[in-house]
Amino acid sequence: MPTIIGPAFLAMGDGSSAYARLAIDRGRIAAILPAEGPSDHHCPEGCSVAPGLIDLHTNGADDMLFNRDQGYAVPVASRAYAATGATGFVASVMTAPWESMLHAASEIVEAAHEVEENEPQGARCLGIHFEGPFLNPKFRRVHRGDCLLPASSVRAKEMVDACRGALVMVTLAPEVEGASEFVRTMLEHGVACAAGHTAARYAEGLLAIGTGYRSLTHAFNGMGPLDHRDPSLLAAFMQDRRTTVQLICDGHHVAPPMVDVLYRMLGDRVVLTTDFMPPAGPGYRVEGGVMRADDGTIAGSALTMDRALRNYMAFTGLPFAQAIVAASHAPARTIGAQNEVGRIAVGMRADLSFWDDRYEVLATMVGGEFVYRRPGIQQETVIAR
């Protein structure tokens, strides 16, 4: 028997909305029903239901770092992300010694498989994102310069093998040696390639997109400026509708007016990410909501996906139903998961987020099961049976 939820305001993930009920059966959305009728779970007044948020770029959660804590970080991230309305995250492995990166990815994949085999306890790890080591030294920021490498098809295959089918995205600079053959190999394996930490200009950006790059990592950061006479590759990605552009929407990495400009240029091609960086130990500090190295270099954010979404609404003036696209369907599309997650539609996974009228998270559902309810509120007053 399907479980009926609602009625509630449904933000569908494609910019549209409805006031309706949802039927959930065997972990998927079985039907979208008229608002009138019986329900198993009644939503409180003012509740909005949306696709679960998806973070394509996170380095860990709480004090766990994927590079360092590897598989141990996965269940921690799973619980932490669920509390922010996220139902999926992609674990990022940063530049480090080559074998260390491959080992970390393998351990994360193993842990993610173990979590997936049990009843859902939180957000799912949707795969691995390698950020590096094929980056431009000039724009490496906090990535280790001594570990940067030229790209090659051999290294591409080693990455794919280490992840055992779970590699979903790689960030690399288009101008590094061997980048084109690396990207061709990745595309053969269905892996999304994103440009980042790059000195590439506009013409090189066009060539990169022609090669197969389909996303840009943390727009405006780790790349040249959008100069009106000599634009960076950002301009190429803004122009080409085949691409998405990832944005750290904390108000520090990119100024709020530029967030609005980016949305007006790109519309539904903006992808909200956190680039969350756990406390990294000596030599790093959290300052003004961002992680910084001692020399002042930004080393990531202290952002969560729900705050990124609220910031995006505030900076652009978008209503919830339109803003949610950048945190659900757009990231799903970037990694080729748009037929499984990122929208409220019949047949999609029942990975859902529940929000109050201030757009604070009430509850999170993964595979049709509630994995998070806001603490301090009686269960029956949140999603009442």
* CA–CA gap between residue 250 and residue 196 (Å, rounded): 19
Regarding whether 312 and 253 lie in a shared domain, the answer is: yes
Q: Give the alpha-carbon dihedral of 39, 41, 45, 48, to 10 degrees.
A: -100
Give the CATH number for residue 160. 3.20.20.140
Regarding whether 64 and 43 lie in a shared domain, the answer is: no
CB atoms within 10 A of CB 299: 22
The residue segments making up the domain with residue 9 are: 3-50+344-382
* CA–CA gap between residue 28 and residue 328 (Å, rounded): 16
Instruction: Give the strands of the sheet with 290-293, arranged side by side.
Output: 284-287, 290-293, 298-301
Tell me which of 334, 353, 373 is where a domain ends.
334
* CA–CA gap between residue 315 and residue 323 (Å, rounded): 11
361 in any annotated domain = yes
Tell how strand 215-216 and strand 192-195 pair up.
Answer: parallel
CB atoms within 10 A of CB 72: 13
Amino acid identity at 114: E
Regarding whether 359 and 300 lie in a shared domain, the answer is: no
Amino acid identity at 170: V
Cross-strand partners of 127: 90
Q: How do residues 322-377 score in pLDDT, each as one tens digit?
A: 999 999 999 999 999 999 999 999 999 999 999 999 999 999 999 999 999 998 65
Regarding whether 31 and 160 lie in a shared domain, the answer is: no
Regarding whether 22 and 113 lie in a shared domain, the answer is: no
Regarding whether 238 and 315 lie in a shared domain, the answer is: yes
What count of residues does the chain have?
Answer: 385
293 in any annotated domain = yes
339 in any annotated domain = no
Instruction: Give the strands of the sheet with 124-131, arranged side by side.
Output: 53-58, 86-94, 124-131, 167-172, 192-195, 215-216, 244-248, 270-273
Q: How do residues 228-239 score in pLDDT, each as one tens digit?
A: 999 999 999 999
* CA–CA gap between residue 328 and residue 222 (Å, rounded): 24
Regarding whether 351 and 240 lie in a shared domain, the answer is: no
How confident is the prediction along the chain (385 residues), in pLDDT tens digits per residue? Answer: 899 999 999 999 999 999 999 999 999 999 999 999 999 999 999 999 999 999 999 999 999 999 999 999 999 999 999 999 999 999 999 999 999 999 999 999 999 999 888 888 899 999 999 999 999 999 998 889 899 999 999 999 999 999 999 999 999 999 999 999 999 999 999 999 999 999 999 999 999 999 999 999 999 999 999 999 999 999 999 999 999 999 999 999 999 999 999 999 999 999 999 999 987 555 667 776 677 776 767 767 889 999 999 999 999 999 999 999 999 999 999 999 999 999 999 999 999 999 999 999 999 999 999 999 998 655 544 565 5
176 in any annotated domain = yes
Regarding whether 252 and 352 lie in a shared domain, the answer is: no
102 in any annotated domain = yes
Regarding whether 83 and 39 lie in a shared domain, the answer is: no
Q: What is the CA radius of gyration of the chain?
A: 20
Regarding whether 165 and 33 lie in a shared domain, the answer is: no
Regarding whether 112 and 27 lie in a shared domain, the answer is: no
Give the number of domains in the chain: 2
* CA–CA gap between residue 113 and residue 187 (Å, rounded): 24
